[in-house]
Structures are given as C-alpha cells and as structure tokens.
Amino acid sequence: SKLTAFALLASAIGLVSFALTNDGITTGSALKEFSSLFGSLKLVHVSTIDSVILSTLMYGPLLEDLKRRSSGSSSGLPLEVRAGLFCALPLIGPCLHLVTRPSLLANEEE
C-alpha cells in the first residue's frame, strides 16, 4: 500500500539523515571512523559489502516490476535506465520506487 511505502521512505530518509549528521559529528570525521571500523571489525566489513551486493541485485526484480506495471511510459526514460537510477540510491531508491509506482490493478484494467 502507499501508506507502507511512505512509511518506508520516511524511515529511510531518517536513517540517512541520522548517518550524515550523527549528532554533531562532521561527515569527514565520521568517514574516518567508519574507515577504521571497516578495516578492523568483520561485522562492519561484511555488512557494508552485503548492502552493496543487495543494492546491486535489486536491479533485476525492480526492472521486472517496472515492466509488469509499465510505469516507464510516463517519464520518457527507458525502463532499464529507471531501474538503474532507483538502484543507484541505496535504501532510498527502492523506497522511492514503491512510492512512485502505479497500482497493479490500475494497469490490469486497461
């Protein structure tokens, strides 16, 4: 439902904004800290690689959903490009897709 999609998008934006502000810590020092944790803790290392892989693998199912709903006709961009753009923004991109995609029932009636 659209309500769930908006809730997911709001949560994703909240997580990203928290990560960027991090209670007053500057982005540069946060990146230095993340870099040292990435090299020293396996959990951070594996979680980061996992999120990159999952964002990459999201392309196929997202493209299939775009084709099924044929929602590429309104923007003028090819479906492959739209799927790539949604996947280029980890966490927020797929949530934006959920918010902007048309209803499946609306396409079946046509």
Mean pLDDT in the chain? 84
How many structural domains are present in the chain? 1
Which tens digit of pLDDT belongs to each residue from 38-54?
999 999 999 999 988 99
Is 19's pLDDT higher than 90?
A: no
Q: C-alpha angle with apex 38: 37 to 40, nearest 5 degrees?
A: 60
Give the Cα-Cα-Cα angle 48, 52, 8 (nearest 5 degrees).
90
Token pair listed for 31: 């990146």
Tens digits of residue pLDDT in 61-107: 999 998 988 744 566 788 899 999 999 988 899 999 999 988 876 55
Domain residues for 57?
Answer: 2-109
Cα-Cα-Cα-Cα dihedral sign, residues 14, 18, 21, 27: negative
